[in-house]
Structure formats: C-alpha cells, structure tokens
Chain A
Amino acid sequence: MKRPRGPLFLARRSYRLRRMMDAARMLPAVGMFLFFLPILWRPADTPQPDTARGWIFLFMAWAVLIALALVLARFLVRAEEEEARLSSGDPLATDQMRD
C-alpha cells in the first residue's frame, strides 16, 4: 500500500533532531566498540600486569557513553514532543518523521 509522502526536505531544526535520532541509533555501536577494545590489547597479557589500567579504561569509556546518552536523551525528548505535536496537528505530518 502506498503511503502519502511527507516533504522531501526538512527545516533546519527538524533536520538536526532527525540526525540526533540517527546518533541515538548508533550509540550502542560506539559503546560496543569501546567495550570490546580491551580484547585487542588483552589486559594482563602483557609482561607487566596492567589489569588496573584495563579497569580504569573501561570505566572511563563507560562514563563517556553515559555522558553521550545524557546529551542525546535531551534532544530526543524534544524530538518526541515535536513528533507528538505534529501528529496531533496534521495526520500527514507523522509520516515526515520517518526520514
């Protein structure tokens, strides 16, 4: 079934919010990259024991991820409000939230 199409291009603000959603979708991949990084260097595999360094690295990465999530959550809540506003106003406008 063909759906009615929204506008092809969005205003700057909506465009920003949309990219924030993209970023939110990519955040788990970023987290995975950070968390799986120790596999390459294998703490405790080096002659000098460096488990503590691995420990510090993981918590740093964790904190960075939380900070990123905090910033994104701010944007996404706004995006959701925008979406709710659009969908309550104009039934066709919801579709433009797709992309």
Chain B
Amino acid sequence: MIDKKILAIVVAVVLVVAGIGVLFVFNEGEKPYRSLDRSGRLMVFGNANNDDYLDGEDVSTLEKIIAEGLDWKTEYPLADANQDGVVDENDVEWVKRMVNREKMKIFYVDYYNKEQRVKSLNYPVKKCAVVGTNMLLALQSIGATSKIIGTTGEEKDPTMFSDLSTVFKVSDSSVTRADDEKISTLKNDGLNAVFTMDSTAFVKNEETIRGMGVDVVRMATSNIRDSVSAVITLGYMLELEERAGRYSKFCDDVYKEIETKAGTIKPEEIVTCINVTMSNSIGGLKSDYHEVTEHVGASNLFKEDVVTKKFEIGDEWLLNDTYDADFIIHYKQFPMKNPNLTEIWDSNGQYFTKMNAYKNGKYSIINSYMPLVVRMAYTAQVMYPELYGESYGDVICQYWIDNFQDNMKGSYLASENLLVIDSSVMA
C-alpha cells in the first residue's frame, strides 16, 4: 500500500516536473526574438542605446548620458530625440512618450540618394502609399499590406502582389511617380505617409506631397545592412515591430549563415563574377548587388566606382580580359509563375553572348521580384552549389513565403517554379 502511495507520489512529481519543463521550453520557444545588434539599425531619434528597439533601455541610456556627461554625438548618435541639438531632460520626457507609443511627431534618419538626412514623421503611420517595388516587398514582408492604401499603377506580378491588385493607384503606369491629385485623393481617405526608395528618381514631387501634410519616407531597401535597418524602422513607424523583428531575424540568420560559409572558401576556390541589373547595366562598386555577390564569396571583377555602367550590343569594353568572369549573374524581374523563358533569356542574354561565362553556361538570370535576402540565397546557390546546396535558394525562398509573404503562403512552392533561369533550363 505504502509502495503504491510512493509510486503515485513519484509519478505525480515526474508529471509536474515534466509539465514545468514543457511549459518552460514552450515559453522559451515563444519568447520574442531580441536582437543583440548595437549599430543603430532602428534609425529613429530616441533610440539612444543604438539597438533595434525603442524601450525603457533608451530612457536609462539617456539618463546615463545626462548624469555622466557622455559624448552622445559620437557614442549615441540617435540620442537627441527632439532634435534640439542637446540631450537633456526634454529628451527623456520625449522618449518616454515614444516608449508609450503615443501619437506624436518623431524624428528619423531618411535616405536621399545614399545620403542621410534628418526628417520628421507623424507617428504612427496608419495608412500609407508605396512607390517602389523593393519598398513594397519590404512592407509585405513585415505584414503591412492592410495599411497600404495606394501604390503605383504599373503592371505588377499577379502572384507576388495578388493582395494589392485592388489597391488605389497613385500613378497611371509609372513605377516611380505618385501624382499630386491622386495623393490628394488618398489624403482625404486618411493617408499619413508615402514610403519610397532612396533614389531621387522616385517621388520627385516630394515637396508638394509634404505640403499636403503627407510625410514622405525614403529608405534604402536594396543593400544588406540598410535593408534590415529599413525593415526595423518601418516596423516601428507602422506599429508592426514584432513581425519586423522576426523578419529582421530571418535576414540576419541568412546573412550570417552565408557569411560563415563564404568564410570557409579557400582562396583558390573563389569564383569570379560580374553582376547585371536592368537589361544591360553592369553593377559597379556602388551597386548594391556588388556587395551581394561578394558576400556569398565571389570576387566581382567590375570594380569601377559607379553604380552601373551600360553595356550595349556592339560595345567592346566588357569583353576585355579584366572582366572575363566565371559567372554572369543577372538580376531581373520576371513573372513568379509561368515565365516566358525564351523571351526572357533572349532579350536579356543577347548582350552577353560573346562572353565566355555565357558560352560556358554560367550566365544566370535571378528573379529580382524577391527580397534581397532571397536573391542572395539564390546567388550563393548558383555560384557555390556544393557549399550552399543545390536547392539553397528554394529553401530560403520557401521559408520567406511561408512566414512573411502572407498572400502566397500555402499556394506557392518555390521548388515548382523557375526563379533562376540558366542554360540548363534553356537546353
């Protein structure tokens, strides 16, 4: 009888301990990801401690700066929350309001043609218009689709942007414009802000739009560091921090994994490449894709200090030995489903038929409709299939779709669609 009691107690203890353990593990699993980055990726003034979050730690940091008279301009560049040129008690009060997520004016770092400038924004952004495909992709990935009430009128990929097909168009067909009268219409519907790219080619009428009381936010969304920074900042502006945090973790993890694997490539195994955007623009040192190709472990041979340089049919300069690369990686938008392979291959490849990489079957067109992190995964797969795996791009792409591309989740399999077109596909 006693044995039975002891056994029952032991069983009960085991169950309780196991239950606590499971509960602990479960809670650990659900514990929100917290980035350890301290490079100021959340580009909002008030993010005093330079992390990815606006919280009580920023208030503490400000108090420390004031109490110890720290050099905030170099160590804590985002500390001056109210942008009055000093860090004092007013900033502490300002940041406390920001931490409480009050409706207020905030200051942030805006990108304008790769230059940074300080701009203000009426927080939070409840309804926005978007100009620029990369910006649209970033906002989709952080779950902001329901807040997008306007976008440009060009023909968009019906698979990728199926959730935006009925959204109001702010331009007839231009990918870079937001027409004044259309923004004015949206303003009456509660439009707070226009999100666009850092290039001056986008939203040239920025001053007019701001004159209507609509903020224009420019972010660099197409290079490694800035694309993650943009996502974190956008997440804050749109009150989507949790999702933006998860997405930034995904990006950080992929970039880190690629960086680690690229670090194992022996010098004699490093492949060479050039990258192409648009139809025939070769990416130089200032091109975002130059960084992408080198991040995966390749040596990009086109080292001119330009963003891109055109290579027209009949031009000779790219045929020189200096640019005789192992791979030509061409980033180009094409339909996510059922692309016209011959048309895409011929119209883009025609510029490079004389190059050895093309002749050797090392010319690949990667669909640039996908976010930078996915494009990078495919780039890695194309140039180092043994190192990253022959379906590495598809794996990363599928993870992104299943977790961050709500309108394609469950209905799109990366492995069943051609997102990279190369000579093996065209054979």
Are chains A and B native binding partners rather than an unrelated pairing? no
Interface of A toward B, CB cutoff 8 Å: none
